Amino acid sequence: MRLDEAGNVRPMTAPYWLSPYAVGCGLLALSTCAYLAAVYLVVETDGALREDFRLRAIVSGTTAAGLALLVLLFAWREADWFFRQLVSPRSWPVLAAGLACFAASAWAVLGRRYRLSRVFAAGEIVLLLLGWGLAHQPYLVYPDITLQRAAAPAPTIAFMLATLPLGALLLIPSLWLLFHVFKVTRGSDGSSMQKCGNRAI
């Protein structure tokens, strides 16, 4: 989207959304999510199902790596400002660390070090998103909307910061209960068992 001189939002035409760069970014996001899901699920399963998720992690990870190179090439051709920001000294160290985590996660999956692969995969995503955000500074939507311009009024921000601890007190126990419930499996006799890693206790 773009903003006109009056500050009104003007949608971009279809060719912008269907450009190689835009489509590549969408496919990269999809394959990255597929890789992250497969790496997480390979820890939670065993037997043939674990091997299936391991294969999915290998395929989606290889696809994500190939798409990342394509998107970088498309950014160089279609999003010159973003590409220059991406390879700047401010962003590149963070992205390099993210790529190192990706390589370590792939190594762990191939070597069947599943819990280690999950740690590296989570670190990879956090670092790549951080690098992407640094590359966009100071814009939220280049070249029209800066982060400062898009920010909410100061009283709204203050209210959100003040209520954040209360929200965390409600949300964190709820998330713990959710994960606890979904870790419970049923035995062959119908009794409830707590699944811990790959063993039922």
Structural domain containing residue 187: 152-201
> What is the Cα–Cα distance from 148 to 140, expressed in whole angstroms?
9
> In terms of domains, do 143 and 168 share one?
no
170 and 120 within one domain: no
Asked if residue 188 and residue 200 are part of one domain, the reply reads yes
Q: How far is it between the farthest Cα atoms of the chain?
A: 70
- The predicted-structure confidence for 2-41, as pLDDT tens digits, reads as follows 666 666 667 766 677 788 999 999 999 999 999 999 999 9
C-alpha 189/C-alpha 69 separation (Å) is 51
Kindly state whether residues 135 and 191 are assigned to the same domain: no
- Residues 45 and 126 both lie in one domain: yes
CA 191 to chain centre: 37
Of the pLDDT bands very low, low, confident and very high (cuts 50, 70, 90), residue 156 is very high
Q: Are 132 and 167 in the same domain?
A: no
Instruction: Give the CA angle between residues 174, 178, 180 to the nearest 5°.
Output: 115
Same domain, 14 and 70: yes
pLDDT per residue over 161-193, tens digit each?
999 999 999 999 999 998 888 776 545 444 444
201 and 136 both lie in a single domain: no
